[in-house]
Structures are given as structure tokens and as C-alpha cells.
Amino acid sequence: MKSKILYGGLQALGRELAKEEWRDAKYTILLDENTFQHCLPLLISQVEALQEAEFIEVPVGEECKSLEVAAQVWQTLMEGEADRNAVVVNLGGGCVCDLGGYVAAGYKRGIRYINVPTSLLSMVDAAIGGKTAINFGGVKNSIGHFYPSALTVIDPAFLDSLPQEELLNGRMEMVKTAAVTNPELFQQLLTDNRLPLTAIKEVARIKACVVKSDPYDHSIRKILNFGHTFGHAIEVYRGLPHGIAVGIGMQAAMYLSVKKTGLPEEIYNAYSRWLKKQLLSINYQLLTFNLKEIESMLPLMRQDKKNASGAIRCVLLQDLGAAVIDVEVSDNEIRDALMRLTIE
């Protein structure tokens, strides 16, 4: 299935949907309470083809990524006699995009869908790359497909209403992508507190490019998991938002990179200082982990999908822009890195 990313915002989407291939499309917009309020007016004022669209509101956040909500959306589509010309338009953050992609992949053996990401994290990450998912059996993203959107449109105008903490969540994933691919962009993101639109588009482009060369996550795409082995454990254990947990996870991964793969120490130091400032700016306390807590986090890290044969494997850095995947890390090295977060 062909997937296209429109970097020209909603106007580009308007032009695209005026084309012949969308003539018979019948649009249903998926949104949540926040994007209904803050994003729908902009979308329909800019894109004529969507002015008559139906819409379905789903719960905010992870709660919408469930089989029950997916079933409700399928039910509504069927009641509206949606056929193979039906198109789902996901207007929201990563949760709405993940759910809507999953719904589209299953309905009538697959209908087209359009991602209109409205959070920073979804613009630079979740809405690109064709992974769709719901949570099931208490496990995040455990059911889903590789099923790319027909279109994804990047329009930073939506960010005006996004809360500060959500902006930081997205910025962390931007810093991650830059750390493994683009040293200049990494430095820019650490020094420039504004968020240049060019940087958002650049990170989206990098993600699209990495995904294109490894759509099914077998090799190079794994570099985008930098910071995620620690990040997932911190997210689950401390209940922190994903991006922020990954930001902290990157500090631990950089610490191990200095020890194991030769990352220059000044990069680790500069990143640690930046992270501390960012966390304080949204009133987060720095994390401390005692030994007992660290022992309970180890099994969470071992469960991580990147690990073969029970050993913990991480993405580490030789330098900015030079990532190494599948580096085996011992339990003692993990303990050391997590303790280190505590005393920084």
C-alpha cells in the first residue's frame, strides 16, 4: 500500500483530497474530546472535502486503544453503511492514530485511512511508519498490524493548543531521533528552546526515511528505540508519560554508551544538564531509584521485545549519529546506570 506524507499542512491535504482518486471517498473523522474542541474547527475550515464528514469521538489517551472501542467504531461504520470507499481520518495524538489505523486495517479487509497528527509526538513519530496497535491483555500495543496510512499530513498549527508537558513529550522523541541520526539537529534541539517548524519536518522526514529502508523493524529501524529499554521500564514502573520516560532512559543509555561504546563524555554531560532543566521546567522531580526498586525494574527490561534469549540488549551510541543496535548489557551495568540517574 502506498503511503504519502504531506509536509505542506492542511492546505496540501485540501489539494490532495480534490484529486480523482478521492472522488468517491466517504470520510469518517475519529477524534477525542480535546481534538474535537481544539483541532476539528481548523481541519474542516481548511479542507473542503471534510466539511460533510461524519465524526466519532473516542476516549482520551490510552483508554481508546482497546478492542471494545475498536468494536464500537466498526459498529458505527457498519450502521452508517460504510463500504470500501470509506476513509477513516485520524485527528489526534498517537492514541487516536494507533486506534484508527487498527480499525481501518480490519474493516472490510482494509480501507484507506489518513493520519492528521495533532500532538508533537504523533507528528514526528506515531503517525509515521505504518504501525497500528491497540492494547490487549494488559500489554501495550500487543495487537496490531503494519498497515500504512494512505496520507499523513504534518501541520504544526495544531500545536498552539497542546499542553506544555505534551510538547516536552514530543521533543524528547525528536531529540532521540536526532541523537541517532543527525548531530547538528541534536545540538540545535538542546540549545534552541523554541521549536522551529523546520526541525519538526526534518524529524518526520528522518523517521519516514528510516522506516522506508526497514519497514518491518528487522534492522536499522531499531535505532529509533534508543533510550526505550530503560524508558519503557521507567514508564511502567513510575507511571511517567512515554516521551518523558524515554528522555530519562536516554540519559541512562548515554551513560552506558560512554562506558561501552566510546561516546564522548561531554555529550552525556551536556544532555544530562539539558534534561534536568527540562524536567524542572514542568515541575518534575528528578528520579531516584533505590536498589530494591532497581531489582523490580530488571524483569521489566528483560521482557522488552528487543531482547533475544533473556539477555538485555540496548541501542547505544558510539557518537551522535552513530548508533549500535543489539548491544548486550549485563544486569550489573543496568544497576549502575539506574543508580547513576539517582546521583546526577
Ligand X SMILES: NC(=O)c1ccc[n+]([C@@H]2O[C@H](COP(=O)([O-])OP(=O)(O)OC[C@H]3O[C@@H](n4cnc5c(N)ncnc54)[C@H](O)[C@@H]3O)[C@@H](O)[C@H]2O)c1
For ligand X, the closer of residues 38 and 335 by Cβ is: 38
Q: Report the nearest approach of ligand X to the CB of residue 219 (Å).
A: 17
Cα 340 to Cα 164, 242, 271, 277: the distances in Å are: 27, 21, 14, 17
- List contacts with ligand X (CB under 6 A): 32, 34-35, 38-39, 60-62, 65, 92-96, 98, 118-119, 121-122, 125-126, 129, 131, 141, 158, 161-162, 166, 169, 242
Q: How far is CA 293 from the centre of its chain?
A: 27
10 Å Cβ neighbour count for 23?
10
For ligand X, the closer of residues 245 and 294 by Cβ is: 245
For ligand X, the closer of residues 24 and 33 by Cβ is: 33
Q: Report the nearest approach of ligand X to the CB of residue 335 (Å).
A: 27
For ligand X, the closer of residues 100 and 263 by Cβ is: 100
Contact (CB, 8 A) for 25 and 49: yes
Contact (CB, 8 A) for 270 and 320: no
Q: Report the nearest approach of ligand X to the CB of residue 246 (Å).
A: 10
Q: Report the nearest approach of ligand X to the CB of residue 329 (Å).
A: 23
Contact (CB, 8 A) for 190 and 184: no
B/e letters for 218-248, b = 16+ CB within 10 Å, e = fewer, are eebbbbbbbbbbbbbbbbebeebbbbbbbbb
Q: Report the nearest approach of ligand X to the CB of residue 326 (Å).
A: 20
Q: Report the nearest approach of ligand X to the CB of residue 121 (Å).
A: 4
For ligand X, the closer of residues 153 and 294 by Cβ is: 153
For ligand X, the closer of residues 5 and 267 by Cβ is: 5
For ligand X, the closer of residues 60 and 300 by Cβ is: 60
B/e letters for 252-287, b = 16+ CB within 10 Å, e = fewer, are bbbbbbbbbbebeeebbebbbebbeebbeeeebeeb
Distance CA 207, CA 212 (A): 9
Q: Report the nearest approach of ligand X to the CB of residue 343 (Å).
A: 30
Distance CA 36, CA 171 (A): 24
For ligand X, the closer of residues 121 and 178 by Cβ is: 121
10 Å Cβ neighbour count for 53?
18
> What is the number of residues in the chain?
344
For ligand X, the closer of residues 164 and 330 by Cβ is: 164
Cα 215 to Cα 25, 113, 222, 284: the distances in Å are: 27, 18, 11, 35
Residue number of the CB atom closest to ligand X: 94
Q: Report the nearest approach of ligand X to the CB of residue 128 (Å).
A: 7
Q: Which residue has the cell 535505532?
A: 223
End-to-end, the C-alpha distance of the chain in Å comes to: 47
Q: How far is CA 262 from the centre of its chain?
A: 28
Q: Report the nearest approach of ligand X to the CB of residue 34 (Å).
A: 3
Contact (CB, 8 A) for 211 and 129: yes
